[in-house]
Amino acid sequence: MKTFPMFLQMQGRRVIIAGGGEQAAQKCRLILKTDAAITVLAPSLDPELADLHAQGRIVWQSGPICPTAFEGAALVFVATGCCATDACLHMLAKSAGATVNVVDQPHLCDALTPSIVDRSPVVVAIGTEGTAPVLARQIKTRLEDMLEPRLGDLAAVAGRLRDRAHARLAPRMRRDLWRWVFAGPVRDTHARGGERAAAQMIKQAIDTATFGAETVGSVALVGAGPGAKDLITLRGVQRLQEADVIFYDRLIDPDILDLARRDAERVYVGKAPGCHHWPQEKISGVLVAAALQGKRVVRLKCGDPGVFARGAEEADALKAAGIPLEIVPGVTAASAASASLGGFLTERGTCDTLVLATGQSETVGKSHTWIRTLQPGTRVAVYMGVGSAAAIAKGLVDAGLQDQISIDIVSHAQQNDEVIAKCCASTLVQTIKANAISNPAILFLTWAQAVAREKQVDRVVHLG
């Protein structure tokens, strides 16, 4: 971000608007929604501003403008409509140490005016750092449709009852209460016009501590996708925002954790191949322990929790302890890698069988038995296969498949350091070394049907 979004306290503070025409009036309308004291600096005022002055809603200063006019202002808007005049006023305001916004001149702005969705005290600000104001307005329009007109009134009721809830409920129960208020029958009742009934429902819930809150903790096994922040599912984001504690893997993009609640506890349980700082049994144990404390737990796993992620072991431990469990699927690495190649995991007439395999296995002698599944029309996606590339290449050669199989390699799929390479069995190891490919990586071994037919025709012609 080049700009940092922040809401300024405006009650009792001065805002200076330099200009007396339509641009100044637009800024005045905006600031009048706050509790700021507005001073307009201009030799004359248009009818709208003159009327506001007559009503005593703004202060008007028509004399010469000097730096002292801007001293102590929380914010200054320069909006005369003349670029040269605006630039001069900008210099005067800056010499007084003011934070300045110059209309339609982003390069002179300390602060940019966002598009605003006003459901006060709920306020949503949308900014594009001055690059695309039309896009900001389009987003604003969508949000206006999403948020019911009187949502701010419900938020205000909740604000007035926060102390009451704080005195009667523990922190976890308070979070459950407000989640119930804003995502359940209370909000629906309020949106239908039942303001009094909604308020009474909240009061009763606080006093009786009955509002559907969970009495025991729960665990969600959430797939974070292949790494990129924008490839996690909406349900995954929702679970992150609800979590009290998040246990996350080594390969999780740190940006994904920014989607979680700020006060959620984050615990790194990364496991590197050959260097298991957190054994699987320990991870399963801490998930159970946290849930038994009544916490809402997220186990955040790279890719999909059901594909080579040892999710079943964690699920078994949770079920044995009677812990409620939810599995939130994610985009698995094979899907992301295939998209990076600009292709598809299956293709009609070319590849109609897909096998997901791993380059690592705890079963002795069983690591690469999937090679036997290769036949025309088959694609095998090998997860974490870089370390066993030599064994895979040898297995293909020993099976007589070195000429039939094409190999695509995608490392760190859909991430900034993504690497893509193509080779055959005889050059697999050299290709990995030459391109400095490392895990996480997917190896696609494909025996396309079309290729198989070509080989057969070539063979017939040769023998003939």
Q: Of 121, 128, 108, 180, whose CA–CA distance to 5 is shortest?
A: 128
Mapped onto helix, strand or coil, the DSSP state of residue 226 is: coil
Which residue shows structure tokens 């070319």?
350
AA letter at 362: E
| Residue 351 DSSP one-character state | B
| Residue 58 DSSP one-character state | S
Which member of 176, 249, 253, 408 is catalytic?
Answer: 249
Q: Is the dihedral of CA 418, 421, 426, 432 positive or negative?
A: negative
Is the peptide bond preceding residue 185 cis, with omega within 30 degrees of 0? Answer: no
Joined together, the tokens standing for residue 254 give 């740190």
Backbone angles phi, psi at 363, to 5 degrees: -90, 115
Neighbour count for residue 461 (Cβ, 10 Å)? 8
Mapped onto helix, strand or coil, the DSSP state of residue 39 is: strand
50-54 LR contacts (CB < 8 Å, sep 24+): 52/28
| Cα gap 388→391, rounded to integer Å | 5
Q: Is the dihedral of CA 134, 138, 140, 144 positive or negative?
A: positive
Joined together, the tokens standing for residue 347 give 């293709």
Does 249 participate in catalysis according to the annotation? Answer: yes
Which member of 94, 140, 229, 271 is catalytic?
Answer: 271
Backbone angles phi, psi at 189, to 5 degrees: -65, -45
Does 94 participate in catalysis according to the annotation? Answer: no
Q: Are 128 and 135 in contact (CB under 8 A)?
A: yes
Active site residues: 249, 271
